Structure 1
Amino acid sequence: MCLPGRVARCLFFDQNPRSKRDPVKSRRDEEGACSCALCGAQDGVSPSRVNELYVDDPDKESGGKIEVNLNISLPNLHCELVGLDIQDEMGRHEVGHIDNSMKVPLNNGDGCRFEGHFSINKVPGNFHVSTHSATAQPQNPDMTHIIHKLSFGDKLQVQNIHGAFNALGGADKLSSNPLASHDYILKIVPTVYEDMSGKQRYSYQYTVANKEYVAYSHTGRIIPAIWFRYDLSPITVKYTERRQPLYRFITSICAIIGGTFTVAGILDSCIFTASEAWKKIQLGKMQ
């Protein structure tokens, strides 16, 4: 039986093209859904972090002490002249602190790297690097320096916490006046990190301001020093790790998978509609 040309041409097309499922497309949809589900599972397994602020002393068991870690280089001052002095408002006045400290000569003995680990009371005070403890005071001590590290409390090795735990790390004063004193004014903020096991670690962030000036003694001599004057903030920052409940995790995974297939279906429908419209346009041109 002979059919008109237009009808014959129409028979070349699938009468129900959507009834045939493309195996490649099906596999891609499934892979996409699995990828989204895996991403959601990773987010669900990874603990979330809750931040809070409160007024309290978080580390009452420390006996009112804060551990300090200082690492500083003075490239133009001999090690025998370098000393650490500690003062605070509780009456502490210690000159030439040497416990848990180390001096490493630099530049063939012309300079010194000082590293010290010591504790301070939880009251306003200062600690300073100077020549005050030296047996004989040098004529013109050079206090140009680089601060490698200044931190307080426990070291937190936690990702995605952007805090000022070592705000002075890398501070470079090598080009400053050799006879100038340096004042670093610190505001120390107690910080607590509690992991999912309930273990707490106590650290301290700090902000800093600084100034330089030439200081004269009562005899008119210039005796420079590097001062770290500190005060404590009454506000404590606490980070707490938490994992979301199982039911919420399952609900989110189901929502991700369902949403993936829904969006894939919408895109498939749009593509199919556009394809059919294009075929009709092409068919019209062939007539």
Structure 2
Amino acid sequence: MQFDIRRLDLYRKIPKDLTQPTSTGALISVCSVLFISFLFCSELLLFINTEVISELSVEDPVQHSEKIPVFINISLYKMECQYIGLDIQDDMGRHEVGFKDNTQKFPLGANGEGCRFESFFLINKIPGNFHVSTHSSAAQPQNPDMNHRVHKLRFGMEMEEGKTVKGSFNSLEEVDKTKANPLSTHDYILRVVPTVYEDIGGTPRYPYQYTFSYRDIVQYHHGGAAVPAIWFRYDLSPITVRYKEKRKPFYTFLTTVCAIVGGTFTVAGIIDSLIFTAYEIFRKAELGKLS
């Protein structure tokens, strides 16, 4: 006896002349297809987009270097560029007055008043400070005024364009201190947190997050004169924040799609069956054939 493979068919077909289409069934079918399409597109977007997870660890993520790059961009609206300089100090005895490498100054006004100061430099992985002041100037200004606006202060590598993650990578962005006492010394105390960001390909970047607190004081030096400055005192946290991009596995996406399609059609079939059964009972009741 020849074996008929059609016996294994789990989805046996019903002849069309034994089925009955209804307007309600058509409406439910259209709604089901639209609902499935919406859920499918939503799941597809979730699958395509990456998820960023974070974890904490106690480590030095950049073991190949003992230096941290720093970039500062700040505007001083009442000081000429010739008076402004950058000093760098740390607990290992480093003391540089008037750091000039990778430093640029741009006058803000036609008459030379006001200055935008930019600098890129390296600091050691120990507590220290850097400050914008007039200490390195050969001549001191008559009326020093260090009121300012911080456009950017970045530690470590810059995040790639288009990469966004919750964190304090530029906490001082556009901090405005232009209305403070002209004689005030501005003191920022920074807590720097090492950070690792790994993209979907596993390539790491090493930005640093930081938080800050602020105070302003008027300090008088020799001869009773006030010499204001802008201090950034930093300390490093032993905790490292590690961000990692992840994407859902393809089999998870397929499982979800199958669940959406199967679940929707199953629930829609139950709803259609209930409506059709209720309608048949109601019609029989009207004809007096309900018994």
TM-score bucket (shorter structure)? 0.7 to 0.9
Aligned residues with identical type, % of pairs: 53
Structure 2 unmatched ranges of 5 or more = 1-18
Alpha carbons of 1:179 and 1:27: their partners in 2 closer, same or farther (altered >3 Å)?
same
Q: Give the aligned residue type for 2:117.
A: F
Q: Give the match for residue 81 of structure 1.
A: 83
TM-score by length of 1: 0.84
Q: Give the match for residue 13 of structure 1.
A: none
1:213 partnered with 2:221: no
Aligned with residue 121 of structure 1, among 120, 124, 127 = 124
Aligned with residue 98 of structure 1, among 87, 97, 100 = 100
TM-score by length of 2: 0.83
SS of the equivalent of 1:99 reads: coil
Q: Give the match for residue 11 of structure 2.
A: none
Which has the larger displacement, 183-192 or 272-281? 272-281
1:150 partnered with 2:156: no
Distance in 2 separating the partners of 1:158 and 1:125 = 32
Aligned residues: CA RMSD: 2.7
Q: Give the aligned residue type for 2:73.
A: N
**What's the CA shift for 1:64?**
1.1
Q: Give the aligned residue type for 2:215.
A: K
**What's the CA shift for 1:48?**
2.3
Alpha carbons of 1:59 and 1:283: their partners in 2 closer, same or farther (altered >3 Å)?
farther
Offset from partner CA, 1:197-246 (integer Å, 9 cap, x none):
11100001100100000011133221110000000000000011122333
Q: Give the aligned residue type for 1:204.
A: Y
Contact 1:165 1:204 in 2 (8 A): yes
Q: Give the aligned residue type for 2:232.
A: F
Alpha carbons of 1:128 and 1:269: their partners in 2 closer, same or farther (altered >3 Å)?
farther
Alpha carbons of 1:152 and 1:263: their partners in 2 closer, same or farther (altered >3 Å)?
farther
Structure 1 unmatched ranges of 5 or more = 1-16
Distance in 2 separating the partners of 1:274 and 1:73 = 76
Which has the larger displacement, 214-223 or 75-84? 214-223
The number of aligned residues is 268
Q: Give the aligned residue type for 2:130.
A: F
Contact 2:72 2:119 in 1 (8 A): yes
Alpha carbons of 1:137 and 1:47: their partners in 2 closer, same or farther (altered >3 Å)?
same
Contact 2:29 2:268 in 1 (8 A): no
Q: Give the match for residue 68 of structure 2.
A: 66
